[in-house]
Amino acid sequence: MSRRLPAEWEPQSAILLTWPHADSDWRDDLARVESVYRAVLAALAPRQALLIVCASKSHRRHVAAQCPMQHAARIHLAIAPSDDSWSRDHGPISVLDHGKPLLLDFDFNGWGGKYPATRDNAITATLHRAGVWPGVALARPGIVLEGGAIETDGQGSLLATRPSILDPRRGHTDQARLEQQLREWLGIRHFQWLNHGRLEGDDTDGHIDTLARYVEPGHIIHVSARPDDPDHAGIRAMIEELRALRDPDNQPLRLTALPAPPPLHNASGRRLATSYANFLVANGQLLAPVYGLESDTAALATLADCFPRHSISAIDCRPLIEQNGSLHCITRQLPAAVPLNPALRLRP
């Protein structure tokens, strides 16, 4: 097949971020969440480029003032109005078509119409028209698909939960038809579907990037839950499904369990979704979400064992989970073949 969806651990040209702003759900907690973004910049900018989407010209000036100027040459600022900051789900999904990059602009409808998403849905097309990715073609499949709902090994396998994709609110009810569309657009050849697994506090209907991720072909790392946790039964059922999966050669998968965090609640008592699986793999490094919990240390050690050639940076993601997402959710990697317009570089 001529088309391939690269794995996240393959070389990247940049990480995409959509910077939060006051005209969004972050308005009451903007300072705290911006501290997370600054931590992400501090971890990534010394080693790779970043593309930051700013909501307006004035917002661009605000964002520029928070960037590490010693790494200005690696930071690119673009402008596109946004509803929110979950780049993983509204950003472009990049494939290689006969070795050449192609940006896919899938529809984003706010996780099945739960939240306003008109501006977010237009971000990728707005950036492309502005010449952010010079010489790279853009295609619109015309179907809803969120980046956090799919996980690939880079060799044609796709791991996903059915509830987060096969959803009439997202326009999908026919699995065979959906699989054919994903074969055509993403080059998927082997589907690994899960029916179970969802974290309390998650509003994506069980995005796979909160539950289970490829470490390498044939090896998956996954969340776990304590026996007294309300999520325990669903997570145990998901783990049994993972054990039953087979790779394209009909071999069982190697599984690694992340530690189970204790329950974490916000000030009003609402349970927050603390997923250690929501990490970001970048060029030679791994950014890991932590939550100020006793289980953080063990989670970092497990991730370090699974990614021994990567440096590990812990990012305190407690502000992010107040709005039901975490580290991977705010980022979107661009493969090495996707260039950035040098005119967008931050000037010292």
Which pLDDT does position 1 carry in this prediction?
63
Residue carrying structure tokens 């919990």: 293
Residue % of the chain over a pLDDT of 70: 100
Which pLDDT does position 172 carry in this prediction?
97
pLDDT grade, residue 274 (50/70/90)? very high
The whole domain housing 306 covers: 3-344
Torsion of the alpha carbons at 129, 133, 137 and 138, rounded to the nearest 10: -60
Q: For the chain, how many residues are written?
A: 348
SS3 letters across 82-147: CCCCCHHHHCCEEEEECCEEEEECCECCHHHHCCCCHHHHHHHHHHHHCCCCCCCEEECCCCECCH
Residue carrying structure tokens 């119409």: 113
Token pair of 256 as six digits: 């690694």
pLDDT grade, residue 18 (50/70/90)? very high
Domain count, the chain: 1
| Cα–Cα distance, 218 to 208 (Å, whole number) | 16
Which pLDDT does position 14 carry in this prediction?
98
C-beta separation of 163 from 198 below 8 A? yes
What is the pTM assigned to this prediction? 0.98
pLDDT in tens, 34-54: 999 999 999 999 999 999 999
* Cα R_g (the chain), whole angstroms: 19
Instruction: State the average pLDDT over residues 175-196.
Output: 98
pLDDT beyond 90 at 348 = no
pLDDT beyond 90 at 73 = yes
pLDDT beyond 70 at 335 = yes
Instruction: State the average pLDDT over residues 305-326.
Output: 97
| Cα–Cα distance, 135 to 342 (Å, whole number) | 13
| Cα–Cα distance, 206 to 151 (Å, whole number) | 13
Which pLDDT does position 2 carry in this prediction?
87
Query: Any idea what the CATH number is for the domain that residue 132 is in?
Result: 3.75.10.10
pLDDT in tens, 121-163: 999 999 999 999 999 999 999 999 999 999 999 999 999 999 9
Nearest Cα residue to 282 out of 320, 310, 258: 310
